[in-house]
Amino acid sequence: MSLFGVALTGLMAGCANMETARPKGGLCINEDSDNYLVSFPQEKMTVEWLEKQAGYYSSGQVDRVIYNANCMRASFDSKVIEPIWAGTVQKEDGTIWFKDKWVGETFDKCIRNLYALRDAGIDHYEVWLATIRKCGREAWISNRMNDAHYTNDPDSVMHDRLWREHPEYRLASGGAFDFAHKEVRQNKLKLIAELLDRYDMDGLELDFSRFPWYFKTPDDAPLMTELMEEARRLVNAAAKRRGHPIKLGVRIMSRPHIARRLGFDVAAWREKKLVDVVTVTNFWPCTDPAMPLEEWRELLGDEVELDAGIEIFVQAYPGAAQFVDTPEVFAGFAAQYLYRGADKIYLFNHMIGFTGMNSKAFTTINHDYSFAYKEKGMKKLIMEGGRPETVYPQSRRHVVGYATLDDQPALLPMPVNGDVQEFRLNVGGGTAGREAFAVFGFEGTVPEALEVKVNGVACTMEQATFDRRCGVAPEATRMFKLPQDVLKDGFNVVEYHLAKGEATRLLWFEIFLP
């Protein structure tokens, strides 16, 4: 029995009390399998510190904390897939080697800390799950169904034996597993069964979005539905053994047509009552601001929880400049998603530590490694980022972005010339009486005479530059003030054209509510 199995020590200050009922909305936080391990030193691999981390997550508007237990390998001593430390050797100087080469700084620290937890008899997932549940939040495990990190390096410590020994099980593109092979699907089901047997959880998430390639053709979708049927059976059996409900959730692509094209028949899953929660999200690296949640709701009905995922980076179009999500941009995404029907807001790669929403903008980690949320950063997200009544009043940036993996072109870049260009942007709710600006970012020449209308009403240029970080330099931006009450809840129509001057391209656009 682990140290944690003997006794649960007192929870840290971040843990909130059990609540009997929760208002609409809320947050889900995904913690990846190595963030804690690479963010903190070996002396913090203790029950006390694991509880402390879980306690910080279990506060504010957070309803569900989801701990990822595996990439291609496991971050626990799995008997189904290899643990991340399998086959590694620790040299006399303490460094970790795999296949006669050093694993690198990140994996070195990760594996050393897993050694420390193992030697102390601590199962960190057991600690985290029990702490989250003690705090009155839902405690979930996430299983990455087809992680494909470093598949360009066959000797990476990330790869499981099944992948290394059976190249015929891989897709040619990207190197991920091909789920058309029965052996691959059975392996994944065995891991699901192991997780359910090992851990007492409130929900199991099957993460199909990290990574999203499973088949050569969407004609293989029935095979995935069969896998989902067996996963549902395993979850139901575990719930019966545990004596409490266990939900089954999936993390899936941001738009229904993308999911269908990649071989996921989510409509069949709904019809067969296979899923309780569906989280729709863009694939790495950025958030899809225009996820059609109305379509998802029609597809899923009212019995399935629909959550909307926010990624770590902001990017206007493929190849454009990226920057780390900011509280104002986050509020823009959340306001739109909640307005369009999301039940909860799901944070991916927004974590306490160095691998997620990092210390530059959101959190600091003090010299003693204690957590310190910045008041306008991660703390603000946790306390105010999940419900309409707290999200809508915030300063918000509603940016134009794109759906990764889509076969349709991104909206940006757009031409800027004498022809009237038009697009629609959803800004969510709570716009009544708000000051608002249309922000344009250009390539090269900044137009001398740009005429702008929002919802048919002309706007005047208020400011030459925009002082927030975006996809272009401040000197390439222009701000147009919207007349009072022109901006409406939901979709707004933006039109612009050159009255005169040299043509250029639009590389960035947003509606900014200070």
pLDDT in tens, 313-342: 999 999 999 988 888 999 999 999 999 999
CA–CA distance, 170 with 163 (Å, rounded to integer):
7
486: CATH: 2.60.120.260
> Does residue 110 sit in the same domain as residue 174?
yes
Band of residue 444 on the pLDDT scale cut at 50, 70, 90: confident
Q: Do 377 and 423 sit in the same domain of this protein? A: no
pLDDT band at residue 355 using 50, 70 and 90 as cut-offs: low
**What dihedral angle (degrees, nearest 10) is formed by the CA atoms of 465, 467, 468, 472?**
40
Domain boundary among 399, 432, 453: 399
3-state class (DSSP) for residue 188: helix
| 234 inside domain | yes
Q: Does a structural domain hold residue 172? A: yes
Structure tokens at 30: 């995904």
Asked whether the predicted pLDDT for residue 361 surpasses 60, the reply is no
Clarify whether residues 392 and 451 are in a common domain.
no
User: Is 247 contained in some domain?
Assistant: yes
Q: Which two tokens stand for residue 514?
A: 């200070």
- Domain range enclosing 59: 25-399
Same domain? For 224 and 128 the reply is yes
Nearest C-alpha neighbor of 143 from the set 225, 235, 58: 235
- The answer to whether residue 305 is domain-embedded is yes
Residue 273 CA to chain centroid, in angstroms? Answer: 24
Q: Average pLDDT for residues 174-200, to the nearest whole number?
A: 97
99 and 174 together in one domain = yes
Between CA 254 and CA 208 the distance in angstroms is 11
Distance of CA 372 to the CA centre of its chain: 22
Residue type, 316: A
The verdict on 105 and 186 lying in the same domain is yes
Burial of 286 (0-12, 13-18, 19+ CB in 10 A): buried
Domain's final residue, options 366, 399, 432: 399
450 and 392 fall within a common domain: no
Provide mean pLDDT across the span 244-254. Answer: 98
pLDDT value for 109: 96
Q: Is the per-residue pLDDT at 416 higher than 70? A: yes
Contacts of 105 (CB under 8 A, 6+ apart): none
Position 114 in a domain:
yes
Range list of β-strands (E), 157-241? 203-207
Residue 17 lies in a domain: no
- N-terminal to C-terminal alpha carbon distance within the chain: 54
Q: Where are the beta strands (DSSP E) in 32-107?
A: 62-68, 88-90, 96-98, 101-102
Could you tell me if 184 and 311 lie in one domain? yes
Judge if 336 and 221 occupy the same domain. Answer: yes
Residue 108 has pLDDT above 70, yes or no: yes
**CB atoms < 10 A from the CB of 92, how many?**
5
For position 448, what pLDDT does the model report?
87
Res 23: pLDDT: 65
Distances (CA, A) of 120 to 84, 116, 124, 304: 18, 6, 11, 41
- Domain end: 348, 373, 399, which one? 399
Compute CA distances 488 → 312, 427, 510, whole Å: 28, 8, 15
**Residue 337: inside a domain, yes or no?**
yes
Q: Which DSSP category does 214 fall into? A: -
Cα distance between residue 390 and residue 61, in whole Å? 10
In whole angstroms, give the CA distance from residue 381 to residue 370. 19
Q: How many domains does the chain have?
A: 2
**Claim to verify: residue 376 and residue 434 sit in the same structural domain:** no
**Main-chain phi, psi angles of 70, to 5 degrees:** -160, 155
Closest CA to 125 of 236, 201, 17, 192: 201
| CATH number reported for the structural domain that contains residue 40 in this entry | 3.20.20.80
Check whether residue 220 and residue 262 sit in a common domain: yes
Within-domain flag for 47: yes
Q: Do 313 and 233 have their domain in common?
A: yes
